[in-house]
Amino acid sequence: MSEQGTILVVDDTSSIRVLVGMIVRKMGFQTMEAGNGLEGMARLKELQARRQTPVLVVTDLYMPQMDGVTFIREIRKTDKTTPILMLTTESYPEKRQEGKAAGANAWMVKPIESERFATLVRRLTQK
């Protein structure tokens, strides 16, 4: 399968990063991982230094040091186009609205159902 780009996976739970990574690598993507929003910003800077942009950012909502909404707001200060998927245990409409207002393009509630997740990734990464 041809290389389709890099997906940045930001979640403080390593098992979620591993699962998301397995799913998207089977789809032909590379992954870059971070355990919180601050690390996620550092990974984005690494990609920018190589003149690359992720084709998708997948982020959790609740993380230490920098939560997902703050992370999304930071991304959107300089990048208005990269799709962002909020992947979280949170299902309250108010939190969804907060994520959308920050710049999230999609919201999925954990636990991850692999085929549904893959379908959403395909939709978000279509050129």
The DSSP-derived string for 18-41 is HHHHHHHHHTT-EEEEESSHHHHH
Evaluate whether residue 51 is within a structural domain. Answer: yes
The DSSP secondary-structure symbol of 17 reads H
pLDDT of residue 2: 46
Residue 17 lies in a domain: yes
Q: Which single residue is written with the structure tokens 């230094």?
A: 49
Looking at the domain assignment, is residue 55 inside a domain?
A: yes
Q: Helix H segments across 14-110? A: 14-26, 37-49, 68-78, 93-102
**Where in the sequence is the domain holding 90, given as residue range(s)?**
6-125
At 52 the pLDDT is 93
Q: What is the CATH number for 51?
A: 3.40.50.2300
In a domain, 18, yes or no: yes
- Neighbour-count burial of 63, counting CB atoms closer than 10 A to its CB (0-12 exposed, 13-18 middle, 19+ buried): buried
Q: pLDDT tens, 39-79?
A: 999 999 999 999 999 999 999 999 999 999 999 999 999 99
Assess if residue 95 is contained within a domain: yes
| Global confidence as pTM | 0.95
Cβ atoms of 55 and 48 closer than 8 Å = no
In a domain, 111, yes or no: yes
Residue 1 inside a domain? The answer is: no
Q: How many domains are there within the chain? A: 1
Domain assignment of residue 61, yes or no: yes
